Structure 1
Amino acid sequence: MRRPGYAAIAGLVIAAAFAAASAATPHLPRLADKNPSAVPVDVELVLAVDVSYSMDPDEQALQRDGYIQALTSTEFLRALREGANGKIAITYFEWAGANDQKIIMPWRLIDGPEAADAVAAEIARAPYRRASRTSISGALMFAKPLFDNSGYRGLRRVIDVSGDGANNSGLPVAHVRDDVLAAGITINGLPIMLKRPTGTMMDIEQLDIYYEDCVIGGAGAFVVPIRDRSKFIEATRTKLVLEVAGRQPEARVIPASSQSPRISCTIGEKMWQERWGGYDFR
């Protein structure tokens, strides 16, 4: 089966999201809220951003700038206005190894251009950092409980994972993914595929398929791969617009929960074991 490329995704996304955003309804019934005073929003969105050493400084800068520009874009603000509540809650954290996650920006409300500018500025001010290993499972485990005390009541709960490699630290990613999905949380992916695998950085050729089969899931889940530096900001904007509008690319690939996996979800773990003689399950 031919996989849709970025061009196919980008060509369908913005118009479809705008046309349907105001009519979008929640994909899942919302769990009972422990906090009846929580502020209603269209989506509670966790941005989980890879800062492992495989991300070089230029890629890190592109990744962060993509989110900054996307959050203040006309397309994003339009999707925000057309939501049922006209507001979202968002938090941003960086991750690397199994025990290495750092919140860069705690939960913030975006309800218009001024709030979006403030959020973008807060993210931009944070110092850059890099760390060892790539634990997508650790990032998902860290992200899941963030919703419990967010102070917001979203129609949807979404974890947005960006990264440039397979899971090679912490628990097996597929098991953690399934646990997150069981809580009614959707996981979307932004696999960064700017460099060809070298065989020396625990990277893999088909990272987009790995994300589709092993990382994403839940109602409306999708992947937007980035293969060209010039498309980084556009791809990030596309993904955020879809998440705010509660939509998905029409040509998305169905994740592993609905079809036979095309790639091993333990590929990163096996590569680490073969290279270093043991897998880090911390």
Structure 2
Amino acid sequence: MAVAMCLFAATGLVAPEPAWAQDETAVDLELVIAVDVSLSMDLDEQALQREGYVKAFLDPRVINAIEQGIHGKIAVAYVEWAGAISQYVTINWLQIDGKAAAAEMSALLAEAPIARLRRTSISGALIFSGKLFENNGYRGLRRVIDVSGDGPNNQGSRADLARDTVISQGITINGLPFVPDPDGPLSLFDLTELDIYYEDCVIGGPGAFSLPVRSASEFAESIRNKLVLEIAGTQRPKLIRTSAASPRVPCDIGERQWHMFMDGDRP
């Protein structure tokens, strides 16, 4: 291979793309939207989350961000996840290159049933989502997993270990944590510092960011804003912080909560 490359360089020729690359469609972004459907998400939260994405793909700002890209198109897959072996592709890779295709994505999301499953494995969601990029028929300038959830990882490998595996493949992980109200009723599995947990233990890769949602009224706007930022790849606003070098919240906090629950500690 090295000799062949030298011969191409010496003769001024450009090596042809491999056959598998020629069959791929060039897009600005390959995006996996990975949404939490664990039982800790109540029915109202799940409905608001789905509605947020249904509306976002009809929003002119999202469509404009897509059309303004170098290729003017993106590829999107929508995944629902919960426990370590509970991940489902709700919508497989769909090319979106304008208003009509975006409306199709919105309609498919509106029609699809919403799963409700047990446990919370962010690590399982990340590893599963990372594999979806393999041989998906697209070649994006960027590859991103957009993971949302309302609690820390409590099953499977630790979230930060899965994150490191995924970003080593050139994939960026962004977060949309649903932070519980510290003044409201809290369960053992709630984490009022979930935004910090996502920043330090979940997101990573080039340009990674996390945008916390702190109330139900913020769902739709936060989802739309996050999609625009991911698609456009532009400068992030100051309110969105990137991953820290050392965790301020233990990355096994969810696993600790689960063990406390199993030991009978149920405050």
Pairwise same-fold verdict (TM > 0.5): yes
Amino acid at match of 1:106: N
Residue aligned with 2:21, SS:
coil
The answer to whether the 8 A contact 2:188-2:257 is kept is: no
Partner Cα distance (2:67, 2:83) in 1:
37
Higher relative contact order by CA 8 Å / sep ≥ 6: 1 or 2?
1
Secondary structure at the counterpart of residue 183 of structure 1:
coil
**Partners of 2:180 and 2:190 within 8 A in 1:** no
Q: 1:133 to 1:201 in 2, by over 3 A?
A: farther
Do 1:54 and 1:201's aligned partners in 2 also have CA atoms closer than 8 Å? no
Matched residue, 1:208: 195
1:163 deviates by 0.4
User: Which of 220, 234, 244 is the matching residue for 1:233?
Assistant: 220
Match of residue 94 from structure 1? 80
Alignment of 1:13-32 (within 5 A): none
Question: Which residue of structure 2 lines up, in the alignment, with residue 23 of structure 1?
Answer: none
1:70 alignment partner in structure 2: 56
- Which TM-score applies when normalising by structure 1? 0.83
TM-score scaled by structure 2?
0.88
Name structure 2 gaps, 5 residues minimum. Answer: 1-17
Whole-angstrom distance in 2 between the partners of 1:213 and 1:41: 30
**Structure of greater Rg:** 2
Residue matched to 1:244: 231
Q: 1:149 to 1:170 in 2, by over 3 A?
A: same
Please give the per-residue CA displacement for 1:102-157, whole angstroms capped at 9, x wherever unaligned. 11000000001000000111111111221110000000010011001211110000
- Match for residue 260 of structure 1 among 219, 238, 246: 246
d(CA) in 2 for partners of 1:192, 1:136 = 14
Instruction: Find the aligned partners of 1:254 and 1:241 in 2 and give their Cα distance.
Output: 17
SS of match in other structure, 1:157: strand
Q: Deviations over 1:235-268 (max 9, x none)?
A: 1000000011012423132313xx2221110100
For these two proteins, the number of residue pairs brought into alignment is: 245
Calculate the aligned-residue CA RMSD, in Å: 1.7
Distance 2:103 2:19 in 1: 29
1:79 is displaced (CA, Å) by 0.7
**1:222 aligned to 209, 216, 225, which one?**
209
